[in-house]
Each structure stands twice: as C-alpha cells, then as structure tokens.
Chain A
Amino acid sequence: MAANCPDQYPVAMACESSQEKNRRAYFRANLTRIIILLAIWAFASFGCGIFLAPWLNQWMLPGTGYPLGFWFAQQGSNYIFVILIFVYVFMMTRLDRRFGVEEKD
C-alpha cells in the first residue's frame, strides 16, 4: 500500500490515514472470523462433547452404533478442530489478499 502513496506531504498524510483505516478494517474482519470459528469450536467440544453429551447419547451417529454425545467427545470434536483451522487458513489467505496485506515472497 505504502508504495502507491505519492511523496508530497499533505497527500501522504491522507494516504497514511486511509492505510490506517484499511488495517483497522482488516483486523476487524479477522476478529469476526475468529469469533465465529471459536463459537463453533466451543459448541462442538464444550457443547456437544460435554454439557449436551448425556442428552445427545439417546441417539446414535446415523448409520452406526456410536452414541452421539460420546462420538462428539471422543472423535467428532477432533475432526471439527482440524477442519476449523484449515477453514481459518483459507479465509485468512483470501482476506489478506483482499486487503492487500499479504506477505511478499
């Protein structure tokens, strides 16, 4: 971004603040994604895996003989964690590019 800023003093100031704004918007977008993904993280583990597990155990994971709450606690939450991280990587790679803050090689 900085490379596109003209050298003249007043314009550079304005440019700086728009860069500032861009960075703040980027970080806010990042925070939104973090909050959403952590909500899923907490729901899968503490929700389905712990507090709701006894209730969920009345059903089986479809097509199997896995009590559902037990499955979340000992299998499912683990898979969901892995997926969440890769989803975040994917989202952030796009976000970095959209805001022009990605790293140069």
Chain B
Amino acid sequence: MTVQAWTFLIVGLSFALYIAIAVISRAKSTRDFYVASKEVHPVANGMATAADWMSAASFIGMAGLISFLGADGAVYLMGWTGGYVLLALLLAPYLRKFGRFTVPDFIGDRYEARTARMVAVVCAIFISFTYVAGQMRGVGIVFSRFLEVDIAWGVIIGMALVFFYAVLGGMKGITYTQVAQYCVLIFAFLVPAIFLSLMFADIAIPQVGLGRLGDDGQSLLQRLDGISTELGFGKYTDYKWDSINIAAITAALMLGTAGLPHVIIRFYTVRKVRDARSSAGWALLFIAILYTTAPAIAVFSRTNLLQSVPGTAYVDAPEWLGTWEDVGLIAWQDRDNDGVITYAPGQPFNGKPTFAKHSETHETLRGEHGQRLITNESVAGENELYVDRDIMVLANPEIAGLPNWVTALVAAGGLAAALSTAAGLLLVISSAVSHDLLKGAIMPGISEKRELLAARIAAGGAVVIAGLIGIWPPDYVAAIVAFAFGLAASSFFPAIVMGIFSKRMNGPGAISGMIAGIVFTTCYIIWFKFIDPGSNNTQNWWFGISPEGIGVVGMLVNFAVAIPIAALTQPPSPAVQTLVQDIRIPGDS
C-alpha cells in the first residue's frame, strides 16, 4: 500500500472514532456544554488536558525547532511544562472550588466589577483566536502534504469535523474526543522515536538513548557535540543565548501556560478539589511523555543531518533530501559551484526559498546537479543549505526507513494534536460569547435552553472564523503567538493569583493592574515586532529580555500597579471576603 492509501485509511479511521465519541457524549445542558457537568475522571481529564495543550506546534514543530536551537530549545521544554506546577499549586484547586464555568466568571465575581469581567472576556477571546488560527493552518498543512489535497480543502475538512463534535458535544464531547486524540498523537509520536533510538543508540527508550555510553565510551550527545563544534556550530549542549533572556522566556511561557483560559477551564470539569490537583499531575505526566521524547528526536535528527549531509556531493545525498526538496522544505544553493553541499552556521538567504520556474511552461528549473534552482538573493556567509524546521518530525519515518503506515500514523497524530487544541480553544471563545457576554452582560435573564443554543451558534461562528484565518493566514500569525503568552502572563495569571491569595486585593487594584500589564506587554511586543523590527536585538532590549520573554516583566508591572492602588482604595466587600475564605477550603464545612 502507498503512503497515501495508508494515510487515507488511518486518518479516516481516527476521524470515524472521534465522530462516534462525539455522538455518544453530546451535551444536553449548558453545564454539560461548558464544563462536562463536572464529572470527568481526573486521569481522563489529565489526558484531555494534555491533548488540549499539545498543539500542532508541539507535535510537528517543536522537535525540529529544538534540533536547530540545541540547548536553547530548553526554553520550550521547561516553559511549556513548568506552568502545570503553578496551576496545581496556585490556581486549579481554588478555581474548582469556586465552581462556576469560565475564567471571566471568576474575575467578575471576585472583583465585583463588570469592567474586570469584560477585560477578561476580551483577553480570552483574543488569546484563543491567536492560537486557534495556527491550529487550523496545521490541519491544512498536514492534509496538503500527506493527502495532496489543497490546503483550503484540508482546512475545510478539519473545520467540518471540529464543527460537528464541538458544536454537538460541547465540553463533554470535546473531553472524550481529546482522550482518544491523546492516544493517537502520543502513539504516533513515540513509534518513530523508538525506531530512531534503536537506530542511533541501540536502545528502545529515546530519553535514555541520548546519554547512553556507547562502545567508544561516548554518548550520542558527546559525539554530536564533537561534530557540531567541528562544523562551526558550537557545542550542541551549550547555551548560546544570555541566561537572563533564557530565564525570562522560560518564565513567561510558564506563567502564560498557567494563565491560558483553555487550560484553566479544563480544571472546572472534575468532580472535586482533590481531583483538580491530581489531574494537573496526570496532565503533566502525559505531556512529559512527549516533552522528554522531543529533545531526543531533536538530537537524532541533528546527528543524522550533520553526519550525512555536509561535505557530501548533492548527487550522493540521502534520498530524503531530494524528497523534501521537491516539497519545498529543503533548498540548496551551490554558491561555490563545487557540487558539494556546504552546511555552516547562518542562513543561505533570508526568509523562505522561492523556487525558479520556467516562465512559460511553469516547470521547475533544475541546476546542473539536478537541484531545484532558487531565486533568493544570497546573504553573506558560507552556508548553502536551507532546511525548514518543521521537516524533522514529518521526515523521521522516512529517515529511519520505516514502513509506510508509520508515515500515515504521523499524519494522523499531527491532525489529532491540531484538532484537539482547536476544539478546546473554540469552546473558550463560545463560552466567552454566550456565557460571559450574553448572559453575563447583555441579557442576564436568558433561559438555559437559549443560552445553550447561543453557545452552539457561537462555537459554530468561531469555527468558521478560525477556518478563514487558517485558509488566508495573515503574515503576522507567528509573531503574535508571543502575544498570547505575554497577555496571559501579564493579565490573567496575576489577577487570579492575587484574587485567591490576597483578601485585600480589590476591583480597582486588579483592573488597573491588568490594564497596566497588558498595555506594557503589548507596547513592547508591537514595538519590536512591528514598528521597529530592525532593532529587535540584545542591545536594544530592556534588561536583555526579548519580546517573547517580556510577559514576565508585564506581570511584575501588574503587581506593582495593583498592590498600591488596592491599598489606597476601599477593601473588597464582606461577601467577597467570604468568597475568598471559602475557595481556600476544599470542603463545605
């Protein structure tokens, strides 16, 4: 069977499974729709959270990114996991005890202000749309690469599927499909990783494979350090960025994770406060299985690339190089005309490759060695090879010479990761519209039945908008992902933590803190990403912190504004003080 036939079969089966689960667990009430009636088992919730959390970027992009960043890739490995400790210790149990439906619910009730709730709603919707666009794009890319359908059609198929199970099933449907999606994605991630580990390190556990001492008394990592230094890339295991920036980005991602509404909302769905604590642990355990495997894949891919490509004549290069060059994710510019691939630090040209085509026949033009010609202008340096970072996970089965069904499985895994995250985000958008805007502000007297209908319509509308962004992505999607984390870190996280741990924090303090945090973070990111991108470097950054890490300073700004203002204004009402008292104690006593 061909890869394509296998992909149709495996992806088709996985979709049928998701639809079957959605039909069985459809939502009958708003409680079902928003929080799955708060009856999800902590282990199931942990799996659903893990699937919700691990997006197309985690599945497809992260290992490749780390493979190029080396040690610096740790910002993602620690940043996207460490937040769960904060969630389990500082947020989840208290929000579960609070026991309503959404994050703006808590902000609104705790700070007794519609303004606070509205700030929270706007942030939640903005963060979720930023994030969901990337997921829909991911669905389109997987479809187009593996099934050779147009990206637009891929997005439409993905939209139809998410529409079906998110609109029908709400949180309940999403939760149980996410459990299935987690199983698909983790299996799909581990199978090639295990084979690669056997190939490179003679052991089936990738996490151990990296550091296992070989017959020559050296580990794979040490060998990679050697090759990498020889080629001028420096040691793979040494940090290249400043420690302060590494720490800031890691912290911003951790705090952002703990403040992302689609993650927080998952802890509303379990039965007890104790379950909220433990399901954060299960979630992180399930996430860690992928997050400790990814750095291993990164090292295997890096070693493979550095061992088999630099200094090899193009005509003798491994087969996968040509395959991915045909897809446009690898490009080679023979700058010194020697037919040999030189791979060195730096980019051969700026941006993505544009391949030369015949002006009339539109056929791909090829050079004397058979390589695809590119029209990009070279930049200074020796490097001749462009490798797209997304290629690593997708190319692995091929690099390891694995059977076709494994490639198909990876496609199904990528789709599972993208769809599960998209569904979780759509639910946040839908509940923000129907519950927080409609019921919370515009028409408080709305009946349960009509609110459920409104939630479904909002979910449907959000799917369509997300799909459109996926088909015609604005150029700045990648640049604004830093926003999502920065905003969550500088608004939600401090507002919720102060709401739980300080009885003195009041509405004016929290609102001005959130606004100060958001404005600071937004201005810093907009300045360096859009207004003056040329100055986006260490010399100009404040405290040596890049826009990706500025959310942590935004959080400090939030605290610095909120605390004095709260101290100078009226303390919160006795009702709120009782509320705070109450959420700190798990039982009802």
Contacts and interface: CB of A to CB of B under 8 A. Distances in A.
A3 to B, nearest CB: 8
A78 B80 CA distance: 10
Interface residues of B, number: 54
Contacts, number: 150
A41 interface: yes
Contacts of B589: 1-3, 19, 100-101
Contacts of B280: 85
Contact of A67 (B207, B237, B284): B237
Given A23-B585, A50-B246, A51-B243, A73 B71 contact: yes
A42 to B, nearest CB: 9
A104 B578 CA distance: 21
Contacts of B449: none
Given A65-B221, A78-B81, A101-B587, A92 B237 contact: no
Interface string A51-88: 10110010011011111011101110111011011101
A75 B295 contact: yes
B288 A78 contact: yes
Instruction: Using C-beta atoms within 8 Å of the partner chain, give the interface range for chain A.
Output: 35 or more
Contacts of B84: 81, 85
A66 B219 contact: yes
Centre residue among B221, B238, B589 by max chain A CB count within 10 A: B589
B450 interface: no
A82 B46 CA distance: 12
Interface stretch (B140-148, B210-218, B335-343): B210-218
A64 B219 CA distance: 7
A102 B587 contact: yes
Contacts of B315: none
B311 to A, nearest CB: 25
B585 A81 contact: no
Contacts of A88: 88-89, 277
B272 A103 contact: yes
Contacts of A14: none
Interface in B231-278: 237-239, 243, 246-247, 250-251, 272-274, 277-278
Contact of B247 (A23, A46, A85, A100): A46
Nearest to B222: A65
Contact of A70 (B85, B89, B221): B221
Contacts of B581: 23
B241 to A, nearest CB: 10
Interface of A: 1-3, 19, 23, 26-27, 30, 34, 37-38, 41, 45-46, 49-51, 53-54, 57, 60-61, 63-67, 69-71, 73-75, 77-79, 81-82, 84-86, 88-89, 92-93, 96, 100-104
Given A45-B82, A101-B587, 12 more contacts: A26-B585, A27-B585, A38-B89, A50-B243, A66-B210, A66-B219, A73-B71, A74-B73, A74-B295, A79-B288, A85-B89, A103-B274
